[in-house]
Structure formats: C-alpha cells, structure tokens
Amino acid sequence: MSRCEIRICREALERAGPCFSSDYGGVVDFYGVVRSLENDRAIDGIDYEAFIPMAENELKKIALAAAEDHSLGEVTIHHRIGFVPVGEPSLFLRVSARHRGAAFAAAQRIIEQLKAVVPIWKHPVYSSVQVA
C-alpha cells in the first residue's frame, strides 16, 4: 500500500527534506513555481482559489490511481491557495517508485491530471510595471 499525503494550504510551502527508502530507487520531487510572466504580461503573483473538499478528493483519487498503476511507494501533493508571489512554489509533488522511469511517468501524469480536473483556479495579479 502506498503512502499518500494530500494537503491544500494557505501558508508558504516548505522545502521538503530528503525521504529515501531501500525499496524505492526513484524519487522525483517537483515544485511548481510562479513565473514572472503570464500570457506575456508581468505579474506580481497568482491568487489561487479552490473548492477544497472536492479538490482534496480529486487529488486523492489521482494519487491513488497513479500509485496503483506505477507501483509507487509514496505520493505527496501539497498545493497552496491564496496569493502566491512570483518566485514561490504553489505546488509540491513527490513520488517514489522502484525505478526512475515509473517515478517520472507518475509525476507527469499526476500534474497533467491535476491541471485538467482538480477544482483549483488561478487568477494572475498583473503588475503595474510591464516588461518590454
């Protein structure tokens, strides 16, 4: 049975410490960081909102399906809501698998499904200073 940890929070995401196991040789950590441009316009950050109960439920279903399909040992998904300034992460994902290929494939699948079905919406906060 895989360990799944799902969290939607308002506080800044902390840098995750190493988490290794002799059973899982591939560990992929992914941080989704707010970029300085959105649609070619400068932003100060992104304001995220979510329907939290449904978002957590969807994230759990995505994590469990990926864990089963890729024989994962761990799936951790933390998503920040509220205002996230440029340069800070809004998403942390960790997956562990027996081999690197499964870990990378699972991470990509989880991110794609998160963006497609999880009720988390982003609203860019455009900067008054525009980049030339």
Q: Does position 130 have pLDDT exceeding 80, yes or no?
A: no
Q: Which residue matches tokens 């499904």?
A: 113
Yes or no: say if 124 and 52 are a contact pair by the CB < 8 Å rule. no
Check if the beta carbon of residue 79 is closer than 8 Å to that of residue 49. no
Single out the residue of 86, 45, 79, 37 nearest to residue 62, CA to CA: 79
Where exactly are the structural domains of the chain?
3-9+24-126
Q: Quote the Cα angle for 35-37-38, to 5°.
A: 100
Residue range 41-85, pLDDT digits in tens: 999 999 999 999 999 999 999 999 999 999 999 999 999 999 999
Q: Which CATH superfamily is domain 3-9+24-126 in?
A: Molybdopterin biosynthesis MoaE subunit (3.90.1170.40)
Task: Specify the pTM.
Answer: 0.92
Q: Is the pLDDT of residue 86 over 80?
A: yes
Kindly report, residue by residue over 96-113, the tens digit of the pLDDT: 999 999 999 999 999 999
CA 42 to chain centre: 23
User: By CB neighbour count within 10 A (0-12 exposed, 13-18 middle, 19+ buried), where does 120 fall?
Assistant: buried
Mean pLDDT of the chain: 94
Residue 92 has pLDDT above 80, yes or no: yes
